[in-house]
Amino acid sequence: MTDAARPSLTPPPDAVAPVRHPDAPAPGQLIEPHYEFCFGCGPAQPSGLHLAARAGEGVEIFAEFTVAPTHQGGPGLAHGGVLVTAMDDALGTLNWLLHSTSVTARLETDFRRPVPVDSTLYLHTWVEAVAGRKIFCRGEARLDAPDGPLALTAQALFIQVPLEHFVNHGRPEDIKAAMDNPDLHKRVRAFEVNP
Ligand SMILES: CCCCCCCC/C=C\CCCCCCCC(=O)SCCNC(=O)CCNC(=O)[C@H](O)C(C)(C)COP(=O)(O)OP(=O)(O)OC[C@H]1O[C@@H](n2cnc3c(N)ncnc32)[C@H](O)[C@@H]1OP(=O)(O)O
């Protein structure tokens, strides 16, 4: 499908190039998971993807995820939804480079090749353009090496939201636990004062 057929994923004429926030993680720096129970990157999720993400030089993320037997769809193959989750998380981690909180509004993924269990997916995501609250991003994932065969490509629209988005919509006991975690609180507050 051409870009013209997906108008909501194509930056409008008044969109601007993304700006790397001055407090963004340095290129090469490992980015801490935003939440320990996140299914994509949280260390406290036994069946989670345990995605490890690093900042790139631009407004971009490089991430890795190794497909475990718990991630199967077909026998010995990664479930497509799990691959989309990995892509979604690598795209969501771009928040750290813009220093804003945004959530996925639309995510379109092309599956280009099967991904076997035990393989490592090398994801690269980047912000293409920003228009008001809309963040237009793209991503690709390659098999077993940063320059390995292309397995997935994606285009996404993220929408910037205030922190209240999470506080108002999350299950109250989880929000309370998150707010009681001083590390998480400090990390998330940094976004608020540096929008
Ligand atoms: C202290 C507490 C601790 C908190 C800890 C938090 C730390 C967090 C840090 C970092 C988070 C990182 C998370 C990473 C995880 C990976 C990312 C995910 O999986 S996120 C989950 C999945 N996504 C959702 O659950 C969104 C559900 N949807 C919504 O909430 C709303 O629909 C939302 C916010 C996306 C938009 O709602 P509106 O009311 O704010 O805005 P409207 O007016 O509807 O849309 C604004 C513009 O965007 C377009 N738009 C909206 N949705 C669209 C769509 N699906 N496709 C195309 N355009 C869309 C609209 O047409 C509108 O455009 P026009 O301004 O009129 O030009």
Closest CA to 6 of 141, 153, 161: 153
Tell me the residue ranges of DSSP E strands in 85-175: 102-111, 120-131, 134-143, 150-160
Give the Å distance between the CA of 34 and the centre of ligand 1: 17
pTM score: 0.95
Q: What pLDDT sits at residue 79?
A: 98
Radius of gyration of the chain (CA): 17
**Residue 122 domain-assigned (yes or no):** yes
Residue 159 Cβ contacting ligand 1 at under 6 Å: yes
Residue 179 Cβ contacting ligand 1 at under 6 Å: yes
What is the C-alpha separation between 95 and 130, in angstroms, rounded? 12
**Residue 126 domain-assigned (yes or no):** yes
What is the C-alpha separation between 126 and 14, in angstroms, rounded? 19
The domain that holds 93 is classified in CATH as 3.10.129.10
Supply φ then ψ for residue 52, to 5 degrees.
-110, 120
Residue with tokens 């057929």: 5
In the chain, how many domains are there?
1
Residue with tokens 């870009």: 3
174 is catalytic: no
Closest CA to 98 of 25, 27, 24, 166: 24
What is the C-alpha separation between 122 and 51, in angstroms, rounded? 10
Tokens of 25: 């993680």
Give the Å distance between the CA of 96 and the centre of ligand 1: 16
**Residue 175 domain-assigned (yes or no):** yes
51-94: pLDDT as tens digits: 999 999 999 999 999 999 999 999 999 999 999 999 999 999 99
Q: Over its length of 195 residues, how does the chain's per-residue pLDDT go in tens digits?
A: 555 556 699 999 999 999 999 999 999 999 999 999 999 999 999 999 999 999 999 999 999 999 999 999 999 999 999 999 999 999 999 999 999 999 999 999 999 999 999 999 999 999 999 999 999 999 999 999 999 999 999 999 999 999 999 999 999 999 999 889 887 777 776 666 544
Q: What pLDDT sits at residue 186?
A: 72
Domain containing 135: what range?
A: 22-193
Residue 15 Cβ contacting ligand 1 at under 6 Å: no
